[in-house]
């Protein structure tokens, strides 16, 4: 059975939103890599497209890292070299440094020798001498309760170059919200609204297995639709957890208003979702939407 609001919406000639649910599956089991249909026997919810569609910012976490002065620059270059060596199949072999204990020992010795030669070369250079001086300045500044740059500013009117670099950390999961205003015009439409609200609450809550364990809440797939198919002009959504279902009655009225039988005249439903997967570059083209996720 499909739950729908408003009841007279003709989905063959209008835009709408479908919200369906399915059992939780971890990413390791392939659950995050797919955009599944509703679980067998479950109900799909069909709703109008809100006047203001949710913001779906794709956020990636970048952070600045400081390699202050010649000592910091030496540290940065040394770390960069070490990281490159660990990933270089010339030293680690095609299967990587941890493919076997024997490979790890052989690769480790090669990397240590390469690193030792690299470090000795740099420490003897002019930059290495400057790094040594900065090491002494750092010690003096620490004793004085100052930063090295503050000490240099006080004594020489100079400061170390912070050598700031913006480095990538990780993509972030998206959150989005949908808000709906229900103004049922009939008893049948009020029944549909109640069933929609109940359905969303039920399957976003855990199930008590009565053995000291919970069955996890279902995940949800939200999709913009037009004329019976996914709308290619609006963003797609990843499977998401429904983290909050909030309901308020008659928010626009200064008093309680209801139909005969007690049904509120107006109901506002807010749904907060959190997608369970990050979005990768290739997945935008596979989303079914011309604008991606």
Averaging pLDDT over each range in 56-60, 117-121, 154-158, 234-238, which range is the top one?
234-238
Residue 3, beta-bridge partner list = 45
Residues 48-66 have pLDDT tens digits of 999 888 988 989 999 999 9
Averaging pLDDT over each range in 66-75, 246-255, 274-283, which range is the top one?
274-283
Strands 267-275 and 164-171: unpaired
Residues 120-129 have pLDDT tens digits of 666 666 667 7
Quick one: average pLDDT of 35-41?
45
Quick one: average pLDDT of 69-78?
85
pTM above threshold 0.85: no
Is residue 1's pLDDT more than 90? no
Is residue 95's pLDDT more than 70? no
Quick one: average pLDDT of 94-120?
58
**What mean pLDDT value characterizes the chain?**
85
pLDDT of residue 40: 41
119 vs 280: which has the higher pLDDT: 280
Quick one: average pLDDT of 8-31?
86
Is residue 38's pLDDT more than 50? no
Residues 200-229 have pLDDT tens digits of 999 999 999 999 999 999 999 999 999 889
227 vs 119: which has the higher pLDDT: 227
Q: Where are the domains of the chain?
A: 3-59+173-285, 61-169
pLDDT of residue 128: 72
What residues contact residue 155 under an 8 Å CB cut-off, 6+ apart? none
Is residue 158's pLDDT more than 50? yes
Residues 161-202 have pLDDT tens digits of 999 999 999 999 999 999 999 999 999 999 999 999 999 999
What residues contact residue 10 under an 8 Å CB cut-off, 6+ apart? none
- Which of these ranges, 61-75, 85-99, 175-189, 276-290, has the smallest mean pLDDT? 85-99
């Amino acid at each position: 059975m499909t739950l729908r609001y408003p009841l007279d919406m003709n989905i063959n000639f209008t835009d709408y939103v479908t919200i369906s649910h399915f059992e939780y599956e971890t990413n390791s089991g392939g659950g995050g890599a797919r955009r599944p249909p509703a679980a067998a026997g479950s109900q799909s919810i069909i709703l109008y497209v809100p006047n203001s569609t949710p913001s779906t910012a794709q956020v990636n976490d970048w952070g600045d890292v400081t390699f202050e002065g010649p000592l910091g620059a030496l540290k940065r270059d040394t770390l960069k070299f070490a990281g490159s060596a660990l990933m270089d199949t010339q030293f680690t072999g095609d299967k990587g440094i941890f493919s076997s204990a024997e490979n790890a020992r052989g690769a480790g010795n090669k990397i240590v020798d390469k690193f030792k030669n690299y470090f000795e070369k740099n420490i003897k250079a002019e930059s290495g001498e400057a790094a040594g001086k900065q090491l002494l300045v750092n010690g003096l500044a620490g004793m004085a309760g100052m930063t090295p740059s503050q000490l240099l500013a006080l004594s020489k009117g100079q400061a170390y170059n912070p050598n700031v670099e913006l480095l990538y950390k990780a993509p972030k999961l998206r959150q989005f919200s949908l808000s709906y205003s229900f103004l049922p015009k009939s008893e049948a439409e009020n029944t549909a609204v109640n069933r929609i609200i109940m359905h969303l609450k039920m399957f976003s809550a855990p199930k008590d297995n009565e053995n000291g364990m919970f069955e996890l809440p279902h995940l949800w797939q939200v999709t913009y639709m037009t004329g019976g198919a996914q709308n290619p002009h609006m963003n797609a959504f990843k499977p998401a957890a429904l983290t909050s279902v909030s309901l308020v009655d008659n928010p626009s009225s200064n008093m309680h208003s209801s139909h005969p039988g007690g049904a509120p005249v107006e109901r506002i439903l807010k749904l907060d979702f959190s997608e369970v997967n990050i979005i990768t570059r290739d997945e935008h083209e596979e989303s079914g939407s011309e604008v991606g996720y």
